[in-house]
Amino acid sequence: MDVTTTIHQRRACRSFDHFRITQDLIVDLSHHAQLAPSRFSNQSWQFVFVYDTKTINELYEALSSGNAWAKDASMIIVVHCKKTDDCVIHDRKYFLFDSGLATAFLILRATELGLVVHPIAGFSPTKTREILNIPEDHEVITLVIVGKHASIIKSVLSEKQSRDEQSRPPRYPLTDFISYNRYGHRNHDG
Ligand SMILES: Cc1cc2nc3c(=O)[nH]c(=O)nc-3n(C[C@H](O)[C@H](O)[C@H](O)COP(=O)(O)O)c2cc1C
Protein backbone atom coordinates (compact mmCIF):
# COMPACT_ATOMS: atom_id res chain seq x y z
CA MET A 1 0.00 0.00 0.00
CA ASP A 2 1.35 3.46 -0.77
CA VAL A 3 1.11 6.40 1.63
CA THR A 4 -1.95 7.94 -0.03
CA THR A 5 -3.87 4.67 0.04
CA THR A 6 -2.90 4.05 3.67
CA ILE A 7 -3.96 7.55 4.74
CA HIS A 8 -7.32 7.11 3.02
CA GLN A 9 -7.73 3.61 4.43
CA ARG A 10 -7.18 4.70 8.06
CA ARG A 11 -10.37 5.07 10.04
CA ALA A 12 -11.10 5.40 13.75
CA CYS A 13 -13.44 2.37 13.80
CA ARG A 14 -14.91 0.99 17.03
CA SER A 15 -16.09 -2.57 16.26
CA PHE A 16 -13.42 -5.19 16.72
CA ASP A 17 -12.74 -8.88 16.46
CA HIS A 18 -9.93 -10.31 18.53
CA PHE A 19 -6.59 -11.30 17.03
CA ARG A 20 -3.36 -12.63 18.53
CA ILE A 21 -0.63 -10.09 19.22
CA THR A 22 2.88 -11.21 18.27
CA GLN A 23 6.23 -9.78 19.22
CA ASP A 24 6.95 -9.38 15.49
CA LEU A 25 4.01 -7.00 15.21
CA ILE A 26 5.16 -4.92 18.18
CA VAL A 27 8.73 -4.71 16.85
CA ASP A 28 7.49 -3.85 13.36
CA LEU A 29 5.27 -1.01 14.64
CA SER A 30 8.06 0.26 16.89
CA HIS A 31 10.57 0.30 14.03
CA HIS A 32 8.22 2.47 12.00
CA ALA A 33 7.51 4.82 14.93
CA GLN A 34 11.20 5.33 15.62
CA LEU A 35 11.81 6.66 12.10
CA ALA A 36 9.68 9.74 12.83
CA PRO A 37 11.49 13.07 12.88
CA SER A 38 12.08 14.77 16.21
CA ARG A 39 13.75 17.95 17.34
CA PHE A 40 17.51 17.31 17.59
CA SER A 41 16.54 13.66 17.16
CA ASN A 42 15.50 13.65 20.81
CA GLN A 43 13.00 10.81 20.25
CA SER A 44 10.90 11.58 23.31
CA TRP A 45 8.20 8.99 22.52
CA GLN A 46 7.65 5.95 24.70
CA PHE A 47 5.08 3.20 24.28
CA VAL A 48 3.70 0.49 26.54
CA PHE A 49 2.14 -2.29 24.46
CA VAL A 50 -0.53 -3.88 26.62
CA TYR A 51 -1.96 -7.17 25.38
CA ASP A 52 -1.82 -9.77 28.15
CA THR A 53 -5.33 -10.60 29.35
CA LYS A 54 -4.78 -9.62 32.97
CA THR A 55 -3.20 -6.22 32.29
CA ILE A 56 -5.51 -5.22 29.45
CA ASN A 57 -8.51 -6.06 31.65
CA GLU A 58 -7.10 -3.82 34.37
CA LEU A 59 -6.52 -1.05 31.83
CA TYR A 60 -10.15 -1.18 30.70
CA GLU A 61 -10.90 0.41 34.11
CA ALA A 62 -9.13 3.57 32.91
CA LEU A 63 -11.48 4.04 29.94
CA SER A 64 -14.19 6.69 30.04
CA SER A 65 -17.74 5.35 29.76
CA GLY A 66 -18.07 6.60 26.15
CA ASN A 67 -15.14 4.39 25.21
CA ALA A 68 -16.64 1.09 26.40
CA TRP A 69 -16.26 -0.16 22.80
CA ALA A 70 -12.49 -0.25 23.39
CA LYS A 71 -12.91 -3.25 25.71
CA ASP A 72 -12.87 -5.41 22.58
CA ALA A 73 -9.32 -4.29 21.84
CA SER A 74 -6.65 -6.92 21.26
CA MET A 75 -3.99 -4.45 22.33
CA ILE A 76 -3.82 -0.98 23.82
CA ILE A 77 -0.72 1.10 23.13
CA VAL A 78 -0.09 3.66 25.83
CA VAL A 79 1.79 6.68 24.49
CA HIS A 80 3.74 8.55 27.13
CA CYS A 81 6.74 10.85 27.27
CA LYS A 82 8.82 12.88 29.62
CA LYS A 83 9.02 16.65 29.21
CA THR A 84 12.76 16.72 29.82
CA ASP A 85 13.42 14.14 27.09
CA ASP A 86 12.79 16.81 24.46
CA CYS A 87 12.69 20.56 24.56
CA VAL A 88 10.00 23.03 25.42
CA ILE A 89 10.70 26.39 23.77
CA HIS A 90 8.57 28.96 25.59
CA ASP A 91 5.19 27.27 25.29
CA ARG A 92 6.05 25.07 22.30
CA LYS A 93 6.00 21.54 23.63
CA TYR A 94 8.08 19.50 21.23
CA PHE A 95 8.06 16.42 23.46
CA LEU A 96 4.35 16.17 22.70
CA PHE A 97 4.66 17.11 19.03
CA ASP A 98 7.41 14.55 18.37
CA SER A 99 5.55 11.80 20.21
CA GLY A 100 2.49 12.63 18.12
CA LEU A 101 4.50 12.28 14.93
CA ALA A 102 5.86 8.88 16.01
CA THR A 103 2.34 7.78 16.93
CA ALA A 104 1.11 8.83 13.48
CA PHE A 105 3.84 6.75 11.83
CA LEU A 106 2.86 3.77 13.99
CA ILE A 107 -0.81 4.24 13.14
CA LEU A 108 -0.11 4.36 9.41
CA ARG A 109 2.01 1.22 9.52
CA ALA A 110 -0.63 -0.67 11.48
CA THR A 111 -3.25 0.51 8.99
CA GLU A 112 -1.11 -0.79 6.17
CA LEU A 113 -1.07 -4.16 7.97
CA GLY A 114 -4.87 -4.18 7.89
CA LEU A 115 -5.49 -3.26 11.52
CA VAL A 116 -7.77 -0.69 13.09
CA VAL A 117 -5.69 1.69 15.18
CA HIS A 118 -7.75 4.24 17.08
CA PRO A 119 -6.22 6.90 19.36
CA ILE A 120 -8.37 8.09 22.26
CA ALA A 121 -8.26 10.89 24.80
CA GLY A 122 -11.18 9.57 26.86
CA PHE A 123 -9.31 7.76 29.62
CA SER A 124 -7.81 8.47 33.02
CA PRO A 125 -4.06 9.15 32.82
CA THR A 126 -3.83 8.79 36.60
CA LYS A 127 -5.34 5.28 36.61
CA THR A 128 -3.27 4.32 33.55
CA ARG A 129 -0.09 5.47 35.26
CA GLU A 130 -0.97 3.56 38.44
CA ILE A 131 -1.87 0.32 36.65
CA LEU A 132 1.24 0.29 34.44
CA ASN A 133 3.73 1.85 36.86
CA ILE A 134 4.48 4.77 34.54
CA PRO A 135 6.61 7.36 36.40
CA GLU A 136 4.97 10.56 37.67
CA ASP A 137 7.11 12.82 35.49
CA HIS A 138 5.82 11.21 32.29
CA GLU A 139 2.76 12.58 30.55
CA VAL A 140 0.37 9.88 29.41
CA ILE A 141 -0.88 11.41 26.17
CA THR A 142 -3.12 8.90 24.49
CA LEU A 143 -4.21 5.29 24.39
CA VAL A 144 -4.14 3.74 20.95
CA ILE A 145 -6.77 1.03 20.65
CA VAL A 146 -5.80 -1.79 18.29
CA GLY A 147 -8.09 -4.44 16.84
CA LYS A 148 -9.22 -6.27 13.72
CA HIS A 149 -12.22 -4.59 12.18
CA ALA A 150 -15.39 -6.62 12.78
CA SER A 151 -17.79 -7.11 9.90
CA ILE A 152 -20.74 -6.23 12.15
CA ILE A 153 -21.33 -3.06 14.15
CA LYS A 154 -21.13 -3.91 17.85
CA SER A 155 -24.18 -3.09 20.00
CA VAL A 156 -22.06 -1.18 22.53
CA LEU A 157 -21.70 1.68 20.02
CA SER A 158 -23.89 4.77 20.44
CA GLU A 159 -25.99 6.00 17.51
CA LYS A 160 -23.36 8.54 16.52
CA GLN A 161 -20.56 6.00 16.86
CA SER A 162 -22.51 3.61 14.61
CA ARG A 163 -22.93 6.35 12.02
CA ASP A 164 -19.22 7.21 12.18
CA GLU A 165 -18.39 3.52 11.78
CA GLN A 166 -20.09 3.53 8.40
CA SER A 167 -18.76 6.78 6.99
CA ARG A 168 -15.94 9.09 7.93
CA PRO A 169 -16.96 12.18 9.88
CA PRO A 170 -16.78 15.19 7.53
CA ARG A 171 -13.68 17.38 7.41
CA TYR A 172 -13.51 21.16 7.32
CA PRO A 173 -12.96 22.52 3.81
CA LEU A 174 -9.36 23.44 2.93
CA THR A 175 -10.35 27.11 2.88
CA ASP A 176 -10.98 26.90 6.65
CA PHE A 177 -7.46 25.87 7.55
CA ILE A 178 -4.96 26.76 4.83
CA SER A 179 -3.57 30.13 3.85
CA TYR A 180 -1.47 31.02 0.83
CA ASN A 181 1.65 33.07 1.51
CA ARG A 182 0.09 35.13 4.31
CA TYR A 183 -2.33 34.20 7.08
CA GLY A 184 -5.91 34.53 5.91
CA HIS A 185 -5.16 34.59 2.18
CA ARG A 186 -7.45 31.83 1.04
CA ASN A 187 -6.71 31.84 -2.69
CA HIS A 188 -3.63 30.67 -4.54
CA ASP A 189 -3.78 33.75 -6.77
CA GLY A 190 -3.76 36.21 -3.86
C1 LIG B 1 -6.18 12.87 20.18
C2 LIG B 1 -7.41 12.09 19.78
C3 LIG B 1 -8.34 11.75 20.75
C4 LIG B 1 -9.47 11.00 20.43
N5 LIG B 1 -10.30 10.58 21.42
C6 LIG B 1 -11.31 9.74 21.13
C7 LIG B 1 -12.09 9.19 22.18
O8 LIG B 1 -11.85 9.41 23.38
N9 LIG B 1 -13.10 8.36 21.83
C10 LIG B 1 -13.38 8.04 20.53
O11 LIG B 1 -14.31 7.26 20.29
N12 LIG B 1 -12.65 8.54 19.51
C13 LIG B 1 -11.61 9.38 19.78
N14 LIG B 1 -10.82 9.86 18.76
C15 LIG B 1 -11.10 9.50 17.36
C16 LIG B 1 -11.79 10.64 16.62
O17 LIG B 1 -13.10 10.77 17.10
C18 LIG B 1 -11.76 10.35 15.11
O19 LIG B 1 -10.42 10.32 14.68
C20 LIG B 1 -12.51 11.44 14.34
O21 LIG B 1 -13.89 11.35 14.62
C22 LIG B 1 -12.32 11.34 12.83
O23 LIG B 1 -12.71 10.07 12.35
P24 LIG B 1 -11.70 9.19 11.46
O25 LIG B 1 -10.42 9.09 12.28
O26 LIG B 1 -12.35 7.87 11.25
O27 LIG B 1 -11.47 9.93 10.18
C28 LIG B 1 -9.70 10.63 19.06
C29 LIG B 1 -8.76 10.99 18.08
C30 LIG B 1 -7.63 11.70 18.44
C31 LIG B 1 -6.61 12.04 17.37
Tell me the pTM.
0.96
Query: pLDDT per residue over 106-134, tens digit each?
Result: 999 999 999 999 999 999 999 999 999 99
Which residue segment(s) compose the domain that 22 sits in? 3-177
**pLDDT band at 68; cut points 50, 70, 90:** very high
Please tell me the predicted confidence (pLDDT) of residue 182: 94
Please tell me the predicted confidence (pLDDT) of residue 117: 98
- Closest-CA residue to 79 (of 129, 14, 36): 129
What residues does ligand 1 touch, defined as CB less than 6 Å away? 11-12, 67, 119-122, 142, 164, 168-169
Query: pLDDT per residue over 79-111, tens digit each?
Result: 999 888 777 888 888 899 999 999 999 999 999
Residue 188 maps to a domain: no
Residue 18 maps to a domain: yes
Distance 67 CA to ligand 1 centre (A): 10
Distance 14 CA to ligand 1 centre (A): 10
Cα–Cα separations (whole angstroms), residue 65 to 48, 128, 135, 141, 178: 22, 15, 25, 18, 35
The total domain count for the chain is: 1
CATH number assigned to the domain comprising residue 152: 3.40.109.10
